[in-house]
Amino acid sequence: MRTLWQDLQPAPDRLGGTLRITFSAVLVALVMLTFRMPFLYVGPYLVFILSQRDTFLTRAAAGLGIGVAVAASLIIYLVAWLAWDTGWLRVSLWGIIFFGGYFFMRVCVEPRAVLGPLVVVALFAFAFDEAPNPNQVVSLVGWLWAILGLVIVATFLAQWFFRAPTAIELLRRQFRELLIAVEQVWLSRAYGRTPPENRMSFEEEEAAARIEKLGTAGVLAPAQARGLLALLHSAFGLLPQAPVDKQDRPTLLAFAGWTRRLRRRILLGVDARPPGPFPAPAGLDPAMQEAGKKFREAALLMQEPGVPEIEKPPGLLPDWKSNPAYTDFALRATLATMACYLFMSLTDWDGIHTCLITCAVTALAGVDAQTRKQNLRMTGALIGGILGMGAVIFLIPRMDSLASYLVILACGTALAAWISLGSERVSYAGWQIVLAFYMTILQDPHPTTKLDIVRDRWVGIFIGILAMRAAFVWWAPPAQSLPVSAERERILTSGN
Q: Transcribe 39-73 into DSSP letters.
A: -TTHHHHHHHHH--SSHHHHHHHHHHHHHHHHHHH
- More reliable by pLDDT, 138 or 449: 138
pLDDT band of 309, cuts 50, 70, 90: very low
Q: Within its chain, how far is the Cα of 154 from the centroid?
A: 19
Measured CA to CA, the distance from residue 228 to residue 226 in angstroms comes to 5
The whole-angstrom separation of Cα 380 and Cα 366 is 21
Give every CB contact of residue 252 below 8 A, 6+ residues apart in sequence.
186, 187, 189, 190, 244
Q: Write the pLDDT tens digit of every residue in 240-267.
A: 455 556 666 777 777 777 777 777 766 6
Mean pLDDT of 53-68: 91
- Residue 135, pLDDT > 60, answer yes
CB 426 within 8 A of CB 375: no
CB environment 270-307: b (16+ within 10 A), e (fewer) = eebebbeebbebeebeeebbbbbebbbebbbbbeeeee
Q: Has residue 328 got a pLDDT over 70?
A: yes
Of 192-206, 362-376, 396-410, 447-461, the one with minimum mean pLDDT is 192-206
Alpha-helix runs per DSSP H in 191-283: 201-216, 222-238, 249-267
Question: Which of 15-24, 182-191, 277-286, 309-318 has the largest mean confidence?
Answer: 15-24
Q: What are phi and psi of 90, to 5 degrees?
A: -65, -45
CA distances from 120 to 98, 187, 282, 380 (A): 11, 53, 61, 21
Residue 306's pLDDT is 44
Domain spans in the chain, listed from the N-terminal domain onward: 2-165+324-493, 167-301
Phi and psi at 410, nearest 5°, equal -65, -40
Most confident among 13-17, 344-348, 462-466 (mean pLDDT): 462-466
Of 17, 26, 25, 90, residue with least CA distance to 57: 17
Helix pair 427-441, 402-420: axis angle to 10 deg: 160
Q: What angle do CA 29, 398, 417 make, to 5 degrees?
A: 35
Contacts of 133 (CB under 8 A, 6+ apart): none
pLDDT for 366 equals 79
The mean-pLDDT minimum among 42-46, 224-228, 380-384, 388-392 falls in 224-228
Q: How confident is the model at residue 194 (pLDDT cuts 50, 70, 90)?
A: low
Q: What DSSP designation does 362 have?
A: T
| Predicted local distance difference test score (pLDDT) of residue 347 | 92
The separation between CA 351 and the C-alpha centre of its own chain, rounded to angstroms, equals 26
Residue 357 CB contacts under 8 Å (≥ 6 apart), including other chains: 119, 122, 123, 460, 464
Give the pLDDT of residue 305. Answer: 42
pLDDT for res 308: 43
* Residues above pLDDT 70, as percent of the chain: 74
Please tell me the distance from the alpha carbon of residue 411 to that of residue 404, in angstroms, as a whole number.
Answer: 11
Residue 307 predicted with pLDDT over 50:
no
| Bridge partners, residue 316, by sequence | 108
pLDDT the model gives residue 475:
78
- Compare 424 and 480 and report the one with higher pLDDT: 424
Position 327 scores a pLDDT of 92
Closest by CA position to 338, among listed 461, 475, 479, 471: 471
Instruction: State the pLDDT confidence band at 166, using cuts at 50, 70 and 90.
Output: confident
pLDDT at 310: 45
- 334-351 b/e (C-beta count within 10 Å ≥ 16 → b): bbbbbbbbeebeeeebee
Cα within 13 Å of Cα(490), Cβ side: 13
CB atoms within 10 A of CB 479: 8
User: In angstroms, rounded to a whole number, what is the distance separating the alpha carbons of residues 368 and 371?
Assistant: 5
Phi and psi for 108 in degrees, rounded to 5? -80, 145
pLDDT given for residue 61 in this prediction: 92
User: So what's the pLDDT on residue 133?
Assistant: 86
Whether 441 contacts 45, CB under 8 Å: no
What is the Cα–Cα distance from 71 to 60, expressed in whole angstroms?
A: 17
Q: What is residue 330's predicted lDDT score, i.e. its pLDDT?
A: 94
Which pLDDT band holds residue 113 (cuts at 50, 70, 90)?
confident
Helices 367-390 and 427-441: crossing angle in degrees, nearest 10, is 40
Higher pLDDT, 275 or 71: 71
Bridge partners of residue 108, in order along the sequence: 316
Mean pLDDT of 395-406: 87
For residue 63, give Cα distances in angstroms to 68, 83, 110, 418. Answer: 9, 30, 13, 24
Report the C-alpha gap between 372 and 465 in whole angstroms.
11
- Over range 358-369, report the average pLDDT: 88
215-237 mean pLDDT? 57
According to the model, what pLDDT value does residue 282 have? 53
Mean pLDDT in residue range 21-25: 97
Judged against a pLDDT cut of 80, whether residue 477 lies above it is answered with no
Q: Is the pLDDT at 107 greater than 70, yes or no?
A: yes
Single pTM value for the model: 0.84
Would you call 25 helix, strand, or coil by DSSP? helix
pLDDT, residue 97, reads: 96
| CB-facing half-sphere around the CA of 361: CA atoms within 13 A | 27
Residue 330 phi/psi, 5° resolution?
Answer: -65, -40
The mean per-residue pLDDT over the stretch 485-495 comes to: 55
Between residues 171 and 218, which one has the greater pLDDT?
171
Taking alpha carbons only, the member of 71, 143, 129, 133 closest to residue 100 is 71
Return the pLDDT at 315: 74
**Higher pLDDT, residue 129 or 212:** 129
CB 302 within 8 A of CB 272: yes
pLDDT score at 456 = 94
